[in-house]
Amino acid sequence: MKRPVVFMTGAGGGMGYESFKAMLPDLGKLYDLVILVRDSDKNRKLFERYIGTPGVLVKFGDLLNKADVVDCVRRSDICLHIAAFVSPQADYHPDKAMKNNYGSTRNIIEAVYETGKADTYKFVYIGTVAETGDRMPPIHWGRVGDPIKPSMYDYYAVSKVAAERYVIESGLKYWVSLRQTGIIGPAMAKIRDAIQFHNCIDDVLEYASDRDSGRAMRNLCAFDGEGTLDGSFWGHIYNIGGGATCRVSTGDMYQIMYGELGFTSLDPIIEPKYYATRNFHGQYYLDSDKLESYLHFRSDSMQFFYDAYLKELGSAKAAGKVMTKLPGGEKLMGSIIKKTFAPLLDSEHGTKHWLVNGMEDHIDAYWGSRKAWEAIPEKFSELRLFTDWDTVVPIDHGYDETKPESELKLEDMSGAAQFRGGTLLSEKMAIGDWKTKLRFRCAFGHEFDASPRLVLEGGHWCPECERKSWNYGARAKVDPFFAQVWNPLHADDELREYPKVVSELDA
């Protein structure tokens, strides 16, 4: 029996390289592997040693080069599409994010059709928690099917939303979208960018480690190759999360991290007025156990990140512990740390830069208003931090979810459309058909086609609204489904519309 061949993209990235390492022992046994990586010094250093190794083909090329992609698809049976142009770099280059993230996905799927494999090829797309955007307390618990809501200016999320829509509506028989959460590990410990101040102190994430994520990719391919991966896995969207031991608020994470240096208070380090209070992304998952039940990949807790953080500090940890024990030591150590923050805060995407330069659109997006920003306390100890983390505010998806999928009817879709402020225009639908596109009109008059899978399980809605702007305040006025994830966090008069500078039509 011929071994399946896995085509992996992004093998040189954090999640991709961990996946590659996890898969190495299986090569030539459970499956073979083809990787397509950019021809860079970094990738040459990582992968030249594997050229000629049985069970692996290293191809240096470009996902935006159709010939390279077609060659890899022709050689393979399943694709792990892990490659992505991610934040924070995506924040600086929106056009590049869309071109790479949407364009590469389209290239692979087109290659599947061009090679005649649409009914057999298996496509694994890696999405992101950023697709559902800001889920600050009290709506910090979420699940697949909640409204798609990329945060303002988050073009990484915008590009991934467009790509996921393309995957779900591709017509492939075997596809899956795995929405990756924040990845903990050495790479996160090394981040030095203004984005760390976009991450709100009361924000939450259910993280997953880089090596657990790699294990998930390995197990997916191994279980599929062995024939033990249940067929019900395909054709769905899942959240990747590390479970209860990987859930933490940003504020609690900082207290643990800086506590390792001997700080008894965060007042010497954290200046709350320079941290956004909204418009990031993250949530605790109500449904991440579902993916774990298929792939059995979890092993790490948040301690894995704290260990990586301490390793990154090196000798500074010991020095910090000594300094913070001295009289006035915490204040002195805090001032040293804050000096390293200054260039980030003053940079193009720095929160201080927006405030000093009166960038009211950014101020409104990340704090609500300048008045709201002015009300933020000067000290961390003066913040009224959220504590009711276990209470779930349920999000209604607008149809009877207790019914089996096989019983979904036209009336269900009509009701779901109305709950989204729109109208179902189609007059016929086969009962239980989640794949065939139906015709809808959104509250703003745009007509579009979408499958029940995209709308009900994916949380997607009008593509024209999505590609044009962030019109969330206006949308919440006419879309009860979306209002559930907007109104709890925003005032009624927050109606600013934020135009988008790029869409998938530009890729």
Tens-digit pLDDT profile for residues 254-269: 999 999 999 999 999 9
Are residue 319 and residue 233 in the same domain, yes or no?
no
Q: What percent of the chain has pLDDT over 90?
A: 94
Compute CA distances 450 → 110, 111, 350, 355, 387, whole Å: 19, 23, 38, 41, 39
Cis amide bond preceding 343, omega within 30: no
Are residue 359 and residue 487 in the same domain, yes or no?
no
Compute CA distances 417 → 220, 412, 448, whole Å: 34, 9, 12
Q: At what angle do helices 14-23 and 210-226 cross, to 10 degrees?
A: 40
What pLDDT sits at residue 439? 98
Mean model confidence pLDDT for the chain: 96
Q: Is 316 a residue whose pLDDT tops 90?
A: no
pLDDT in tens, 66-121: 999 999 999 999 999 999 999 999 999 999 999 999 999 999 999 999 999 999 99
Q: Is 1 a residue whose pLDDT tops 70?
A: no
Number of domains in the chain: 3
Are residue 413 and residue 367 in the same domain, yes or no?
no
Are residue 209 and residue 334 in the same domain, yes or no?
no
What pLDDT sits at residue 471? 97
Confidence of residue 30 (pLDDT cuts 50, 70, 90): very high
Are residue 10 and residue 32 in the same domain, yes or no?
yes
Last residue of a domain, one of 233, 267, 295: 295
Cis amide bond preceding 488, omega within 30: no
Q: CA-CA distance, 459 to 146, in Å (whole number)? A: 5
Pairing of strands 423-424, 236-239: unpaired
What CATH code is carried by the domain that includes residue 70? 3.40.50.720
Residue 343's domain comprises: 249-279+303-382
Structure tokens at 327: 């009289």
Classify residue 391: in a domain, yes or no: no
Using DSSP's 3-state secondary structure scheme, residue 151 falls into coil
Classify residue 366: in a domain, yes or no: yes
What pLDDT sits at residue 268? 96
3-state helix, strand, coil in the chain (%, to 5): 45, 15, 40
pLDDT in tens, 379-434: 999 999 999 999 999 999 999 999 999 999 999 999 999 999 999 999 999 999 99
Q: CA-CA distance, 315 to 225, in Å (whole number)? A: 46
Phi first, then psi, for residue 498 (nearest 5°) are: -110, 105
pLDDT in tens, 142-151: 999 999 999 9
Angle value at C-alpha 94, between 91 and 97, nearest 5 degrees: 95
Average pLDDT over residues 441-460: 98
Are residue 444 and residue 334 in the same domain, yes or no?
no
pLDDT in tens, 151-205: 999 999 999 999 999 999 999 999 999 999 999 999 888 888 999 999 999 999 9
Q: What percent of the chain has pLDDT over 70?
A: 100
* DSSP letters for 374-432: HTS-SSGGG------TT---PPP-SS-TTS-GGG--HHHHHHHHHHTT-EE------TT
Are residue 60 and residue 155 in the same domain, yes or no?
yes
Confidence of residue 317 (pLDDT cuts 50, 70, 90): confident
Q: CA-CA distance, 357 to 141, in Å (whole number)? A: 35
What pLDDT sits at residue 321? 87
Classify residue 399: in a domain, yes or no: no
Are residue 290 and residue 266 in the same domain, yes or no?
no
What pLDDT sits at residue 323? 87
Classify residue 498: in a domain, yes or no: no
What pLDDT sits at residue 318? 85
